[in-house]
Amino acid sequence: MNDLSIVILLALAVSGVLLWLLLPRHKASRADASSLHSDFNEALPTARHYAYFRQIRQALSAADTEYLVHNAPPHVAKQALRERRAVARRFLMGLHEDFSNLARLGRIIAALSPEVSHKQETERLILGLKFQILYALVWLRLSTGNLPLEQLEHLTGLVGRLATRLDTAMTEISALSAGRLPGSLGA
């Protein structure tokens, strides 16, 4: 590939990224710093999915799997196991959403802060990138049936504690900002 093709492809790729970034996206759950003041708590659902873990655990328990394998016809057992893996994957996606909300809260706080530390921001950026890679690997292992459920439970416990901490943090922010911010945040 010569210089000409490289520059043209590079220009087209960067322009494509730029246009993609400029396209309006209507994603109801997405909150940004500019709309934060209007409805802070509703705009940032912190962690919802971990709350369903008990039901998920019941549905995906080893005892259930064993029962299915021994008592159901092979094709039914196979289909059921496939569906259970799909449920676990969706649950993992939910946990991803919970993580993203926490990271987004960090970014919004940074945007609304009069001073930020470049070290903290770089660290959060790297943590986010690392998470994306790890999440993809876990998702792959879950899809191939290679991930024990108990380990997923540990992860869920962590997200649960995060959610509690987040709720407390939001209350603290509201208290600190009382009288300074318009709308529900300062209320």
Partner 1 sequence: MNHLEIALSWSTTLFEVVLCGFVFARKAQRILPLFAMYTCVLLACTSGVWLTYEYFGFTSFTSYYAYWGTILLNTVARSLAIVELCRYGLRSYRGIWALVWRVLASLSILLLARAAIDARGQPNAVAIYGTTIDRDLALASIVILAVLLIIRNYYGLALETLQKSIAIGICLICTVDVIGNTILRSLYTGYLFSWFLKSQNALWPALRPQYMRVNDIASTVHLFFFMCAMGIWCFALRKPLPAPSKSPVLLPAEVYREMSPAINMRLATFNDRLMELLKP
Tokens 């909150």 sit at which residue? 31
Amino acid at 150: E
Distance from the first to the final alpha carbon of the chain: 60
Q: What angle do CA 127, 130, 51 make, to 5 degrees?
A: 75
CB of 178 vs partner 1, minimal distance in Å: 11
Which among 148, 51, 143, 154 is positioned nearest to 97, based on CA atoms? 51
Q: Does 1 bind partner 1 (CB under 8 A)?
A: no
Q: Scanning residues 94 to 153, which ones bind partner 1 (CB under 8 A)?
A: 99, 102-118, 120-121, 123-125, 127-128, 130-131, 134-135, 137-138, 141, 147, 151-152
CB of 85 vs partner 1, minimal distance in Å: 15
How far apart CA 126 and CA 6 sit, in angstroms, is 28
Are 112 and 33 spatial neighbours (Cβ–Cβ below 8 Å)?
A: yes
CB of 52 vs partner 1, minimal distance in Å: 18
List interacting residues with partner 1 (CB under 8 A): 3-4, 7-8, 10-12, 14-15, 17-19, 21-22, 30-34, 37, 99, 102-118, 120-121, 123-125, 127-128, 130-131, 134-135, 137-138, 141, 147, 151-152, 154-155, 158-159, 162, 165, 169, 172-173, 176-177, 180-182
